[in-house]
């Protein structure tokens, strides 16, 4: 029985590893014109990268700041509207005949607000967003679980109003 030979016959065996190692150099002329063939140290890289990032940020900043200002202005206006709706709905008397319609309006406004702003990465770290989101979540959760005419317990109501107040303060401070 013959053994299987998986290699093809060749006239001259070739090696895959080069016989002479090549020296790899880093050309740093993009960062420093004076250091074209020398290696950069950690200190030079640490100094050059933030400086180049600041220069690039200054060049492209005007277009970004205008768009961010529009988002901020719209965010402040819509958040203030939702804050007013939360306050008015939470403070309504439970015997008021308009409670169910006010809760429906609040749920619609809060759903639109959350859907619009939870995808904005620039707003996620803001204190106003965090507190407002928490207040909306508490109010919506209460009305979903207990119905639109169920009164909010005193402790929950106090916490919701406190979160709305801190969200409004943070909003006025630009946070």
Q: What is the pLDDT along the chain (175 residues), one digit of tens a residue?
A: 555 555 555 566 555 555 555 554 444 444 444 444 445 566 665 565 555 444 444 444 444 455 566 667 888 999 999 999 999 999 988 888 889 899 999 999 999 999 988 888 888 888 899 999 999 999 999 999 998 888 899 999 999 999 999 999 998 888 8
**CA–CA distance from 13 to each of 3, 10, 21, 130 (Å)?**
21, 7, 20, 69
Q: Residue 71: its pLDDT value, please? A: 66
Read off the pLDDT of residues 31-75 as tens digits, 9 standing for 90 and up. Answer: 444 444 445 566 665 565 555 444 444 444 444 455 566 667 888
Residues 128-132: contacts with CB under 8 Å, at least 24 apart: 128/79, 128/167, 128/168, 128/170, 128/171, 128/175, 129/79, 129/167, 131/163, 131/164, 131/166, 131/167, 131/170, 132/79, 132/82, 132/83, 132/163, 132/164, 132/167
Q: Residue 58: its pLDDT value, please? A: 41
Report the greatest alpha carbon distance in the chain: 100
What φ, ψ does residue 137 adopt, rounded to 5°? -65, -40
The structure tokens listed for 32 are 């420093």
Angle (CA) 167 169 173, round 5°: 110
Please name each of the domains of the chain with its CATH number. Answer: 69-172 (1.20.58.810)
């Amino acid at each position: 029985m013959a053994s299987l030979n998986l290699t093809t016959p060749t006239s001259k065996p070739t090696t895959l590893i080069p016989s002479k190692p090549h020296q790899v150099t880093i050309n740093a002329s993009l960062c420093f014109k004076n250091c074209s063939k020398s290696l950069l140290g950690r200190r030079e890289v640490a100094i050059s990268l933030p400086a180049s990032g600041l220069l690039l940020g200054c060049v492209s900043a005007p277009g970004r700041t205008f768009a961010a200002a529009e988002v901020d202005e719209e965010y402040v206006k819509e958040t203030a509207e939702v804050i007013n709706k939360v306050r008015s709905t939470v403070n309504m008397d439970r015997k008021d005949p308009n409670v169910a319609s006010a809760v429906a309006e609040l749920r619609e406004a809060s759903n639109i607000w959350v859907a619009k702003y939870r995808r904005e990465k620039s707003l996620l770290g803001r204190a106003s967003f965090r507190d407002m989101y928490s207040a909306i979540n508490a109010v919506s959760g209460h009305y979903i679980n207990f119905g639109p005419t169920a009164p909010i317990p005193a402790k929950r109501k106090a916490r919701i109003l406190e979160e709305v107040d801190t969200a409004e303060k943070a909003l006025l401070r630009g946070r």
